[in-house]
């Protein structure tokens, strides 16, 4: 599938090859739904690609409304807009150059892969629970300002993210039943997608997004 300037909803097992010219990127939305997306990178492109993913999720999150362009989840949108407002459904970004997981949900990973998944906010290792392991990891991410710990996608890892993690942990029993990423879904069910996104965004574009989201 090759697309430009459009909205994409990922609902079935597929390999999506997505090409977005810089001029149209801001209008592009990829809806993960209740899926997990694996984005392969190369060692030379990894860091820029990871920054791109942070920005795409941040623009989609749009301060918690989940109504912006970028990489979003309709589940996160529904959770954010259905009263009572909870906002604990998130798009978690897992950088496998950090975690070095051999696989996720049975899907093989390389250390250059970036994983994005609809999940509970704060389930940093995407194992289906928000627990003390995630909390300890969040402490490290706060120390290093690693944006994998930026749960509210505001560009920094701080107390607001810990508060969201705590709320997510308290509500996880309620939410686990509605997320099929819990319980090791089979690849054949469509829970996995591999996204190839050439060409990579330029550093100039990333700088533009950085300025627009988080002015210096």
Footprint on this chain of Ca ion (rule: CB under 5 A): 123, 125, 127, 134, 150, 152, 154, 161
> How near is the Cβ of 149 to Ca ion at its closest, in Å?
8
Instruction: Write down the least CB distance from residue 15 to Ca ion, Å.
Output: 27
Q: Which of residues 67 and 154 has its CB atom nearest to Ca ion in the complex? A: 154
Question: At its nearest, how many Å lie between Ca ion and the CB of residue 9?
Answer: 26
Q: How far is the CB of 152 from Ca ion (least distance, A)?
A: 4
Cβ-Cβ contacts under 8 Å for 164 (sequence gap 6 or more): 87, 88, 121, 122, 151, 152
Q: Are the C-beta atoms of residues 124 and 118 closer than 8 Å to each other?
A: no
d(CA 58, CA 64): 9
**Residue closer to Ca ion (CB basis): 95 or 123:** 123
Cis peptide before 84 (omega within 30 of 0): yes
- Quick check: 94 and 104 in contact, CB under 8 A? yes
Q: How far is the CB of 134 from Ca ion (least distance, A)?
A: 4
Question: CA quadruple 25, 75, 83, 171: dihedral positive or negative?
Answer: negative
Between 90 and 150, CB nearer to Ca ion: 150
Of 67 and 131, the one with the shorter C-beta distance to Ca ion is 131
Q: In terms of CB distance, is 94 or 114 closer to Ca ion?
A: 94
Residue 22: other Cβ atoms inside 10 A = 12
């Amino acid at each position: 599938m090759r697309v430009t300037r459009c909205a994409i909803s990922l609902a079935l097992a597929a390999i999506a090859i997505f090409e977005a010219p810089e001029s149209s990127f801001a209008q592009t939305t990829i809806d993960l739904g209740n899926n997990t997306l694996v984005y392969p990178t190369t060692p030379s492109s990894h860091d820029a690609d990871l920054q791109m993913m942070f920005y795409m999720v941040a623009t989609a999150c749009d301060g918690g409304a989940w109504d912006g362009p970028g990489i979003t989840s309709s589940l996160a949108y529904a959770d954010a807009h259905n009263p009572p407002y909870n906002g604990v459904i998130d798009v978690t970004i897992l950088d496998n150059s950090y975690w070095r997981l051999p696989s996720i949900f049975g899907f093989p990973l390389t250390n250059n892969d970036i994983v994005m998944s609809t999940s509970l906010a704060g389930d940093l290792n995407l194992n289906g629970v928000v627990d003390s392991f995630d909390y300890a990891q969040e402490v490290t991410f706060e120390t290093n300002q690693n944006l994998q710990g930026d749960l509210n996608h505001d560009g920094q890892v701080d107390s607001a993210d810990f508060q969201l993690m705590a709320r997510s942990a308290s509500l996880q029993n309620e939410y686990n039943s509605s997320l099929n990423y819990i319980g090791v879904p089979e690849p054949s069910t469509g829970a996995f997608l591999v996204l190839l996104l050439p060409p990579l965004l330029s550093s100039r574009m990333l700088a533009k997004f950085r300025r627009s989201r988080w002015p210096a």
